Structure 1
Amino acid sequence: MPHTPLLARLSTTRVAAIDMTNAVVIQPIGAFEQHGPHLPLDTDALVAETVAARAVAGLPDDANVWILPTLRYGKSNEHAGRVGTMTLSASTLISLLLDVGESVAASGFRKLVFVNAHGGQPQLLEMVSRDIRAATGLQVFPVSAMHLGEPEGMSWDDAGFSIHGGQSETSVVMAIDEGLVDLDVAAADGVALGSLFAGFTHLTLEGAVPTAWLTNDVSTNGVIGDPRRASPELGARVLDHWSGALSEALLEIKRFEWPELR
């Protein structure tokens, strides 16, 4: 049979034959939430699974890296009340991911990687990763695509306030499937963030002293950024960078082992 990294396509017999000693399992995770009038609700899930798939495609067939089905729901209560948003509570998502981790460990795997593309849950993933480690012994690595950096020289028109549905995120979706994006209805919002924290030394939206913001605090149309000059070419550069960085990280994860201290 032709090789596939998709664990769901394998039989239980084929999974049992995997060399678990150096195998890595990826759980892509996104969200199902409003992204303004121009982007689809599953933007984050689409980005997470694309980055994961491209990263694994950049590895040799015998890399022994496997991908679980994408979790298309996340913790999105910052967008609660916006039509189409489907959110899990923090406790539900934690329980779900703990169950996934326990199942991965029960199958004999030793390393689990979360590949996340939703900005509202990196901290939760870091916490639950440690809980899974403590409960199962799995080595767990929470990765958020947006923390993998950008190509050198990238610049964005809305760099000062773009965190949701802006130029960069819209460009990435266009690079995946341009037909999913309706730039005709795209509009900037959240521009007031540029002046909202003027005069404060420490307080920012998402910095050393952040605020527990909701979308309704900063945006009318659900966008925090300016998507109007997004392009698939810009998005392709970001996707290539993220996928390449994740490929490199996966090889490092395969090599990594905690030392025996006792």
Structure 2
Amino acid sequence: MYSELGASEVSWAGKTYPEIINTAETPGSILVVPVGSIEQHGHHLPVATDTILVDAVAHLGAERVSDELPILLTPPVWTGYSPHHMPFGGTMTVEHRTLLTLLEEVADTALENGFDALLFLNGHGGNASLISSAVSTVGVAHPEAEILGLTYFQLADSFIDEIRESELGGMAHGGEFETSLMAHLRPDLVSDGDATYWEEPYDRAGDDLLHGGPLSVYRTFDEYSETGAIGDPELASAEKGEAIYELLGDELAVLLRTVHDQTT
């Protein structure tokens, strides 16, 4: 189970070192590094939401292809770059350079085992540009390997309109999307939340989880919301969360198969 360190069949943490090396040296081998955060998610979700969700999706996708290709997952990197959440309590963040260095060094040492590909799977929007930077710097340092990065919820772009009920701005930080996933995966950690839709004054900036714009804007979250959450958790349900989760697993499995094909 993804929530228990080392228990999954694809978990690096539960393997002996000869098992890890054997997997890594098999042609087309893939290592997935989930990257999350510890930050406030309003009054209704735990601060580990991003880490819980990216770890769960990473395991689901990897387990779906584990009979077909050599793949392992590291334990999640639980800290992220979250200074914009600091006005609220409960958030822990590291410097941008610190997290980039950490990911580079994790990749450097992991790739020494012989993996053909490494995927940074990100769970926090504030990490997205940093993940792109890590793909570039690790890729330069390891030209022999396929280095990739993806924010997991972007996998939902092709199907989310069939599931969501909220209007634009209802799926953001602690909104319909994340609350539904948590209601499915960890209902014991979810309580009632109020709706605060994302209102962005710049037309070319992002205003929903899967509706980003070309304009980057920095603001702390207290400028968007009194609770720290943005979106409509009142429309969330465990049923939606299960549907989203299963489809995310399907999409990630497709990507992993493509990565394997690229490296064999």
Query: Could you state the TM-score of these two structures normalised by the residue count of structure 1?
Result: 0.89
**Structure 1 residue 65, shift from structure 2 partner:** 0.9
Structure 2 match to 1:167: 176
The aligned amino acid for 1:35 is: H
Q: Does 1:56 align with 2:62?
A: yes
- Matched AA of 2:176: Q
Structure 1, 100-109 or 54-63: larger mean CA deviation: 54-63
Q: How many Å apart are 1:89 and its aligned residue?
A: 1.1
Once the two structures are superposed, what CA deviation does each residue of 1:23-70 show, in whole Å capped at 9, x if it has no partner? Answer: 100001111000000001100011101101111221242521111111
- SS of corresponding position for 1:109: coil
The Cα of 1:159 is off from its aligned counterpart by 2.7
Distance 1:204 1:42 in 2: 23
- Cα distance, 1:81–1:21 mapped onto 2, change above 3 Å: same
Q: Which residue of 2 aligns with 1:21?
A: 27
Contact 2:172/2:230 (<8 A) preserved: yes
- What displacement does 1:257 show? 4.2
Asked if 1:67 corresponds to 2:76, the answer is no
Following the alignment from structure 2 to structure 1, what is the Cα–Cα distance between the partners of residues 155 and 198? 27
Q: Letter of the aligned partner of 2:187 in structure 1?
A: E
Q: State whether residues 156 and 168 of structure 1, in contact with CA within 8 Å, keep that contact through their aligned partners in structure 2.
A: no
Q: TM-score, normalised by structure 2?
A: 0.88
Separation (CA, whole Å) in 1 of partners of 2:243 and 2:123? 16
**Cα distance between partner residues in 2 of 1:110 and 1:167:** 37
Residues 198 and 231 in structure 2, CA contact (< 8 A), matched pair in contact too: no
Aligned pairs for 1:1-262 (under 5 A) are 4-18=9-23, 19-137=25-143, 138-150=145-157, 151=159, 153-183=162-192, 186-189=193-196, 191=197, 193=199, 196-197=200-201, 202=204, 206-257=212-263
CA–CA distance in structure 2, aligned partners of residues 230 and 92 of structure 1: 35
Count of equivalent residues: 250
Secondary structure at 1:148's aligned position in 2? helix
Runs of 4+ in 1 over 3 A off after TM superposition: 200-206
In 2: Cα distance, 1:181 partner to 1:110 partner: 39
CA contact (8 A) 1:28 1:70 kept: yes
Residues of 1 paired with 2:256 and 2:95: CA distance?
29
CA 1:46/1:212 → structure 2, altered by over 3 Å: closer, same or farther?
Answer: same
Alignment CA distance shift 1:97-1:204 (3 Å): closer
Give secondary structure in 1 for the equivalent of 2:65. Answer: coil
Deviation digits for residues 2-36 of structure 1, max 9, x if unmatched?
A: 98211111111222223343110000111100000
| Shift in Å, 1:156 | 2.8
Report the CA distance between 1:169 and its aligned residue.
1.0
SS in 2 for 1:46: helix
Shift of the alpha carbon at 1:209?
Answer: 2.1
What's the secondary structure of 1:63's corresponding residue?
Answer: coil
CA deviation map 1:63-96 (0-9, x unaligned)? 2111111111111111013211001111110000
> In structure 2, how many angstroms separate the alpha carbons of the residues matched to 1:117 and 1:217?
22
In structure 1, runs of 5+ residues without a counterpart are none
Identity of aligned residues (%): 25
CA, structure 1 residues 7+39, in 2 after alignment: closer, same or farther (shift >3 Å)?
same
The alignment's C-alpha RMSD in Å is 2.0
* C-alpha contact (below 8 Å) 2:116/2:263 kept by paired residues: no
Counterparts of 2:174 and 2:230 in 1: how far apart (Å)?
A: 6
One-letter code of the match for 1:256?
Q
